[in-house]
A and B are shown apart, each in its own frame.
Chain A
Amino acid sequence: MKKTLKNALIAMLTICLFLSVVAIASAEKPNYEEIIWSPEEPTRESEVSFTVEITGDDIEEVYVRVEECNDQFCYQDIINESMTNTMDNTWEGTVTLIHDDTTYCTVWLEILSNETWFDFKDSKITFDVFEETGNGDNGGNGGNGENGTNDTPGFELIVLVISIIVAISIYKKKRIR
């Protein structure tokens, strides 16, 4: 009788152990393919929307974390925005970039699945942030300044006018002869 009880206890313990292993294994990290941002070339202090398709068990909450950086430093105030489940596995969120000297952003997700938070710091994406250009005022970037003299539309127009004048004068000279 005692032996049967002992065996039953061992069997129950084994089953419990098995079930707990199964439970741990089922709390798998959710997956996503890629984070799509829009517009593709966002400007400083503008709104950027993110769309991502997430698969996994019981996705409860998703946060998009956006860091604003330039080649010298990153701002400490990370943007942490909640995403909404728009359809099926698609989540969307919009953030407003804060700083006026950001040149790139890095983005990652934090996902609450099965009451466990998963962060995806190790699969971050990076996108460039551009300076907003005013009407016709394109000279803001230092990089354009160096070779900007010959590339302006005004210069091309002058070259065109001079070419036409030269061509007309050559044509007239030939006619006179």
Chain B
Amino acid sequence: MATWCPPCVQQMEQLESVVNEFKNQIVVISIDVDTTETKTDIVSKFGKYTNKWIFLIDNYKEHVASTYQVDAIPKIVIISQNGNIYYSHVGYTDYSTISGKIKELL
């Protein structure tokens, strides 16, 4: 995600619902893949969510973006407990889809 991306902003609302539903069962991490962005950018745009789940910036050689082949954002990646990618989708993904995929894993 990135703060300048309107679909990412919409995605955050869906993620908030996911976090609320699966509070202590999953770990949610939002990674800003625009390396020019700062903590201030994230807090000013997504401040209402930053205390609800983890936010990181991919500022180490864009490592996450290249590893997960992120060429468009938002990209949702669900990783299983054994570390495998269970689900991956580029673009806005609604709450019910994400929730359904997580339920399949739990």
Q: Do A and B come from one complex?
A: yes
Interface residues of A (CB under 8 A from B): 67, 69, 71-78, 106, 108, 121, 124
Q: Once the chains bind, are B33 and A76 in contact (CB under 8 Å)?
A: yes
| CB atoms of B4 and A73 under 8 A apart | no
A69 to B8, CA, bound (A): 11
Pick the interface stretch among B46-54, B68-76, B97-105.
B68-76
Asked if B7 contacts A69 (CB within 8 A), the reply is: yes
Show the binding face of B for A, using Cβ within 8 Å.
Answer: 2-8, 33-34, 41, 65, 70-75, 90-92
| Known A-B contacts A78-B34, A121-B41; A73 and B3 likewise in contact (beta carbons under 8 Å) | no
Name the A residues within 8 Å of B33 (CB-CB): 76
Q: Does B3 contact A121, Cβ atoms closer than 8 Å?
A: yes
Inside 8 A of A74's CB, which chain B residues have their CB? 2, 4-8, 72-73
B39 to chain A, nearest CB (A): 14
Instruction: Find A73's partner among B41, B65, B73 (CB 8 Å cutoff).
Output: B73
Most buried by B among A71, A73, A74, A124: A73
Residues of B within 8 A of A72 (CB): 7, 90-92
Q: Which residue of B lies closest to A75 (CB)?
A: B72
CA distance A1 to B91 in the complex (A): 75
In the complex, given contacts A74-B2, A75-B71, A106-B4, what are 20 additional A-B residue pairs having Cβ atoms less than 8 angstroms apart? A67-B5, A69-B5, A69-B6, A71-B7, A71-B92, A72-B90, A73-B5, A73-B7, A73-B72, A73-B91, A74-B6, A74-B8, A76-B2, A76-B34, A76-B65, A76-B71, A77-B71, A78-B4, A121-B3, A121-B4
A106 → chain B closest CB, angstroms: 6
Nearest 3 Cβ contacts at the A-B interface: A72-B91, A74-B5, A73-B91
What is the CB-to-nearest-CB distance from A52 to chain B, in angstroms, rounded to a whole number? 18
Chain B residues within 8 Å of A106, by CB: 4, 6
In contact, B41 and A76 (Cβ under 8 angstroms): no
Residue of B3, B5, B71 ringed by the most chain A CB atoms within 10 A = B5
